[in-house]
Amino acid sequence: MTRVFSGDVAGYYAKYRRGYPPQAIDALQDAFGLGTEDTVLDLGCGTGQLALPLADRVRSVIGMDPEPDMLRLAGEAAAEQGIGNATWILGGDRDVPALRTLLGRSSLAMTVIGNAIHWMRHEELFDALLPLLRPGGGIAVVANGTPLWLQENSWSPGLRAGLERHFGTRLATSCGTLPQDRDQYRRALGAAGFGEVRETVVEYTDDLTLEQIVGGVCSAVPTDRLPALEDRPAFTEYIRRCLPADQETFTEHVRVAILTARV
């Protein structure tokens, strides 16, 4: 089986995947009353874009991901930032029931899933998480903006067309960011027994360089489709030609949608 986010792809992910604005972290903390006695789980944690800023606000964070290279880079980032209350565990959504042994008599205050739930069997996951959560705790499903090539701006259609030509495939997967995706997760949370299902939205704009766009693309390419190291300058120039020639920076509008549900 192809390791989707291994090797250089994980490196691009750590460097170029957009992080989360402080307002989004505030919204997560407020939704579940997170404090210094709490433990949170970041499922599908990647290289720690959510786990690391949350670590300052709680007693401990568990970052769980099925890709060893992602966890390695998350651990390195934690060490660089002096974060000592994060634990990194290899595993995916089907491994969640095994966390009962790790937690012992403790419970989770929150499980957060950021732009990873489209890889998971979310109905089964919500059922498995329910008994691990403390009263008043819950689940947060976070959509951290639409993929660059699917955004509604002046430069995304050219990027999308160029990538589809280069990779010979149609790019339509929303990574769980579309309204119909969010409605699906909302219904599943209710069916699993969660209440107070709400959505909070944080919006902002950002200006990206060509390097950031290429890095963002490479962070989402399966390892076996990533251009070889010697071919990446040519790939960068190809992406440059797909974008408007008169622009040096490219503005994106990011909509962070935070779906929360409580026990």
Per-residue pLDDT at 69: 96
Q: Cβ(61)–Cβ(131) under 8 Å?
A: no
What pTM was computed for the model?
0.92
Tokens of 253: 């509008």
Give the pLDDT of the chain (263 residues) as one tens digit per residue: 345 789 999 999 999 999 999 999 999 999 999 999 999 999 999 999 999 999 999 999 999 999 999 999 999 999 999 999 999 999 999 999 999 988 988 999 999 999 889 889 999 999 999 999 999 999 999 999 989 999 999 999 999 999 999 999 998 777 777 788 889 999 999 999 999 999 999 999 999 999 999 999 999 999 999 999 999 999 999 999 999 999 999 999 999 999 999 99
For residues 263 and 260, what is the distance between their CA atoms, to the nearest angstrom?
10
Per-residue pLDDT at 119: 86
Superfamily per CATH, domain 7-146+173-205+249-262: Vaccinia Virus protein VP39 (3.40.50.150)
Tokens of 54: 């949350």
For residues 4 and 46, what is the distance between their CA atoms, to the nearest angstrom?
12
CA distances from 19 to 89, 196, 218 (A): 21, 26, 16
Angle at 202 between CA 201 and CA 206, to 5 degrees: 140
Handedness of CA 225, 228, 229, 234 (dihedral sign): negative
Q: Cβ(261)–Cβ(195) under 8 Å?
A: yes
Per-residue pLDDT at 1: 36
Per-residue pLDDT at 3: 57
Per-residue pLDDT at 2: 44
